[in-house]
Structure formats: C-alpha cells, structure tokens
C-alpha cells in the first residue's frame, strides 16, 4: 500500500523536506506586516502539530509554514517515480497569515480574532469560520478562541464605554451592554437549538429581508463564565460520528451566536459575533462504506461548504469590483442564508468582518486531505495578481463615499445634515470616506449625539442615509461592470449551422448584403449557397 511505502521511505522524505526548508531559509525574509486595519474577509491557515499516535506511527510533517514568509505555507507531496524511486513535489499556498504547529490558541486569538471584539461591541458583525478536514483541529481552534473571546469581551467593555464616552450620555445605566448567547447546529436543511433540548428552529428571511431565527432561545450572560458555560453545554449536545480520522467527528455546523445589545444607544443594531465550527469535510470515497444516511450527510456537508466557498469568493471579488457575475448564491445553504449580511453587499448596512481559518493536519498520510483544504481555502484570498490595486486612487465622486477625502466628508456631513451634525464630532480623526463607512453604527450614533439638539432617531436616519449611498454606489458599480462585459460573439440561440453560415458570410464580406445578392455572391465563390 502507498501509505506503507511512504512510511518505509520516511528517512528519504524527511531529509528532502529538511534540505528544501534549509534552502528556503537562505532566501530573503518577508517581514510580518503590522496592519491594524480590519479587512472585510481574512483567510488564515493553521497547521496543527503531529499527534502522539501519529509520531508513534513514524509519520512525518509534509505541511509547514514558510520560514521566511509568514503568508505562505509549503506542502510536500511524498510520491514515487515509475521506477519506484521516492520523490518529493513542492507547492506553495498564499494566506493572510499562516499559524504553525508551535503557535498556540492564544497566538491565534491575538493575531486574528481579537480585533473583531471591539468593533462588535460598537455594533459591527463579526464572523469566525473554522474549516478543515475531519481531525484537523477545527474544534480545538474554535473552543480555544471562544475561551479567550469570552474573557476579552467582558474585559473590553470598560474600554469601549470609556472610548465611546457612554457615561456622558443621559441614558447611561449600570448595565450598558447586555450580552446574550445562543448555540445551534445546522444539519443539511434542518437546524436544532443545542441549548434547548435540540428543539427544531427555523432560519427565515422576513419581508424586510432581515434574517430571523424562529424558536431559538437566547441566554443572558452576566460574566464570561456564564458565556463559557453555555458554549460548553452547546458543544456537548452537538451531533458527532466516528470517521476514519476522528472518533468523534463533528457532522454538523455548530454556531455560537453572541449578541451585544447596547442599552445606552437603543436605536443602534445589536453587535453580533458568529463563531462557526464547520462540519468536518470528508471525501466521498472515505464514506462509501457507510449507510445511506451517512452518504447523504456527507453530500449535504460538502455541498454547503461549496456554497460557502462560492459566497466568500463572490463577496470578495464584488467588493474589489472584480466580480463579473452579479449572483452571490447565499440562498443555496442554510449556513450562508444565515450569514447573508456578510455576503449580500446590496443588503448589508454595517461593517462586517469575516475571519476564515483553514485547519490542516501535517501528517504525511493526510496529504490528500491537506492539499484539498489548501486548494479550497487559499484561492479565497484574492491575490493582487488579479489586477486590483488597493493604493490606486479613485477620482472624486460626490455619490461614492469610497472616493471622498476628509474635506469631502466634511462637506457631505454639513450639507446632508443641514448643519445639524458637527463634523468635528463625527470625524475627529481626519477620517476619509472609507473610514467613515467603517464606523460601526453605535459609535456613529454616539458621535452624532455629541452635536447639540441631535436625537438618537435622527442620528440613526443619518447613518442610514450614508449607507443608502454606499449600497447604491456598490450596485451601480457592479451593474456598470456587467454592462461593460463584452457581448458573446454569437447569440446563444444560434445553432451550429447558423454559426457556420455567419462565419462564412463574414469571411466573404456579405453579412449585411441583401439576401439575394449575398446568395449569388456565395454561389459564385464556393458554389454552395443557402436558402
């Protein structure tokens, strides 16, 4: 068997991988970028360490972070030539950051997730998705993140209260933030409340296109311990099965929803954090000995993961103005329907941040699983090769906030609020149009309220006015992009014969000639003619 052959040749492969790694360390180092700006969608990779049973098996690591470039991972395929000689093939994959086997959950949390806590407290939407083959460390990663996040959320409240100067508002009370949690799982098209005896719940869109979860129970959390207690109960009720890779493999998408309600600024939408432990993707081949029910389960999981991939990619491309198709297929699965605010840029009216963590096993015997995960996740990070230049300045357009400099922002605020809002309060840090759009709703309203005579309702309307512009502008840009797309050479209703005739007429220069004249000319030239 191939697996036995790989282990028998372990010495060769380990040496080849070490040599390659050594050569890589002599190449110029790429420094880690110190960026504090939150991206709409960030794609990370986490490579777990080899587990003790894998080490006992004499397995070795075939997926490593690139020593000199924290944005790349290197994968080595252990293979054999036709004459049975072992060879190693190398491939590199790009990410927003690669966490290696020595990086613990705290490092992952500090470098990827913690930034969404503050913005969610200010009213934004934060989504964390853990993806990977079964046994690759998704649950390990998400539970670790949840522990740090629960503590951090309660710790940061005070900072946000001070930063937002909430104490100065008349409506300030002794519980400015109400934190509630719910925990549910999605199995195909069914959803179950894991904190309420697995009662069925329903993800629905109301007539205002808002998403609602009918029947879900939300629990009030006064401390981080409360929050963690509910998360642990939820996990213990999740559906699992034994797979080839994991004795308790997760067969559902487990979603922890943390809602942050600001009781001081009631008009603002609640901040929401979704922590999603995706079901372990399993190759169809690995599940072929299972029951019909298991096969259907695997099919459902894989199809929803495919929809998720399409949605993330479509969203990224459309944000960058590179999307050719207007359709983001978020309605194709329950999970993406729930997260529609993240994907549907014509609906979304607040800053959304999505953090996608792909988890892989470094075990040489998991090569095919690991490469599948890398091929799935790495392309989600849209590379600069696509021609998108974030530094390229767009020319000023009164109706497009992304083109506004600080002075345009001031003009817009003064004009659109009829002088009721003082720009010094709303954009005190020289914010440009993009930065203005990135101010979460609560913070936006809070800043508006600093102007004399301003009410929460008026501030909310002003926020919606800005987002009306942003959404209109995005829609227009995408439509313009679509209409500038070259028209297909042939009408799709043309059959083969019509296309042949069209090509021939074009070649003979008689395409626009009257039919009779064209026929004569055609007969003269090739003696065939047509009716």
For the annotated binding site, the residues are 132-139
Under the binding rule (CB under 6 A), the answer on residue 253 touching ligand ATP is no
Count of residues interacting with ligand ATP (CB under 6 A): 17
Mark the binding-site residues for ATP, compressed into ranges. Answer: 132-139
3-class SS at 318?
A: helix
The interface with ligand ATP within residues 332-371 (CB under 6 A) comprises 359
DSSP state at residue 396: P
- Residue 477 binds ligand ATP, judged by CB under 6 A: no
- Binders in 404-423 for ligand ATP, by CB under 6 A: none
CB atoms within 10 A of CB 321: 14
- Bridge partners of residue 183, in order along the sequence: 256
Is 36 or 291 the residue whose CB approaches ligand ATP more closely?
291
Q: Supply the minimum distance, in Å, between the C-beta of residue 232 and ligand ATP.
A: 15
Report the site for ligand ATP in 216-245 (rule: CB under 6 A).
243
Rounded to a whole number of angstroms, the distance between the first and last alpha carbons of the chain is: 65
CB of 347 to ligand ATP, least distance (A): 31
Contact 249, 243 (CB under 8 A): yes
- Cβ burial of 135 (10 Å; 0-12, 13-18, 19+) is buried
Note whether 250 binds ligand ATP by CB under 6 A: yes
Tell the smallest beta-carbon distance from residue 476 to ligand ATP (Å).
42
Place of tokens 């944005």: 71
Alpha-carbon gap, residue 302 to 280, rounded angstroms: 9
Q: What are the residue ranges of helices labelled H in 204-291?
A: 224-236
**Binding mask of the shown chain, residues 277 to 296, with x at each position contacting ligand ATP by CB under 6 A:** ---x----------------
DSSP conformation class of 168: G
Q: Which stretch binds ligand ATP (CB under 6 A): 7-15, 118-126, 186-194, 246-254?
A: 246-254
Options 13, 116, 138, 448; binder of ligand ATP; rule CB under 6 A = 138
Query: Distance between CA atoms of 427 and 421, rounded to whole angstroms?
Result: 10
- Per CB under 6 A, contacts with ligand ATP among 43-62 are 48-49, 51
Q: CB nearest ligand ATP: which residue? A: 280
Pair 90, 73: CB distance under 8 Å: no
Q: In this structure, what token pair is assigned to residue 116?
A: 């969404």
How far, in Å, CA of 455 to CA of 267, rounded?
A: 10
Site string for ligand ATP, 7-46 (x = CB under 6 A): ----------------------------------------
Site residues, ligand ATP (CB under 6 A): 48-49, 51, 132, 134-140, 243, 246, 249-250, 280, 359
């Amino acid at each position: 068997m191939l697996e036995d052959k790989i282990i028998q040749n372990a010495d060769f492969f380990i040496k080849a991988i070490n040599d390659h790694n050594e050569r890589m360390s002599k190449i110029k180092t790429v420094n880690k970028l110190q960026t504090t700006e939150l991206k709409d969608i960030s794609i990370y990779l986490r490579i777990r360490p080899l587990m003790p049973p894998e080490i006992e098996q004499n397995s070795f690591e075939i997926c490593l972070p690139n020593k000199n470039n924290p944005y790349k991972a290197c994968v080595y395929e252990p293979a054999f030539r036709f004459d049975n000689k072992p060879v190693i093939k190398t491939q590199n994959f790009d990410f927003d950051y690669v966490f290696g086997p020595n990086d613990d959950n705290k490092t992952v949390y500090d470098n990827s997730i913690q930034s969404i806590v503050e913005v969610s407290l200010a009213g934004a939407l934060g989504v964390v998705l853990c993806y990977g083959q079964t046994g690759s460390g998704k649950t390990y990663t998400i539970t670790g993140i949840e522990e740090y996040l629960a503590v951090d959320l309660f710790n940061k409240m005070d900072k946000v209260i001070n930063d937002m100067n909430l104490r100065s508002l008349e409506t300030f009370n002794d519980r400015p933030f109400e934190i509630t949690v719910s925990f549910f799982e999605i199995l195909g098209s069914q959803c179950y409340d894991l904190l309420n005896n697995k009662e069925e719940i329903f993800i629905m869109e109301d007539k205002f296109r808002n998403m609602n979860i009918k029947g879900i129970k939300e629990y009030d959390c006064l401390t981080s311990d409360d929050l963690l207690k509910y998360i642990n109960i939820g996990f213990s009720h999740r559906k699992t099965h034994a797979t080839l890779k994991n004795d308790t493999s997760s067969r559902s998408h487990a979603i922890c929803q943390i809602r942050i309600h600001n009781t001081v600024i009631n008009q603002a939408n609640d901040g929401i954090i979704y922590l999603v432990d995706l079901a372990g993707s399993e190759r169809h081949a690995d599940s072929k000995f299972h029951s019909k029910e298991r096969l259907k389960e695997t099919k459902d999981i894989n199809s929803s993961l495919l929809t998720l991939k399409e949605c993330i990619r479509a969203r990224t491309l459309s944000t960058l103005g590179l999307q050719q198709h207007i359709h983001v297929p978020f309605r194709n699965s329950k999970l993406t329907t729930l997260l529609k605010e993240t994907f549907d840029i014509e609906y979304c009216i607040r800053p959304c941040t999505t953090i996608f963590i792909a988890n892989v096993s470094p075990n040489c015997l998991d090569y095919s699983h690991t490469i599948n995960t890398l091929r799935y996740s790495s392309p989600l990070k849209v590379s600069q090769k696509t021609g998108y230049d974030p530094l390229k300045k767009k020319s000023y357009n009164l109706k497009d906030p992304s083109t506004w400099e600080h002075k345009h922002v001031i003009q817009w605020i003064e004009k659109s609020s009829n002088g009721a809002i003082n720009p010094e309060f709303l954009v005190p840090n020289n914010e440009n149009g993009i930065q203005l759009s990135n101010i979460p709703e609560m913070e936006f309203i809070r800043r508006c309220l600093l102007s004399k005579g301003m009410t929460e309702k008026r501030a909310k309307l002003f926020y919606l006015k800005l987002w009306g512009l942003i959404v209109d502008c995005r829609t227009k840009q995408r439509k313009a992009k679509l209409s500038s797309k070259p028209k297909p050479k042939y009408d799709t209703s043309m059959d083969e014969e019509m296309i042949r005739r069209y090509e021939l007429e074009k070649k003979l220069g008689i395409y626009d000639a009257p039919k009779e004249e064209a026929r004569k000319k055609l007969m003269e030239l090739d003696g065939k003619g047509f009716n």
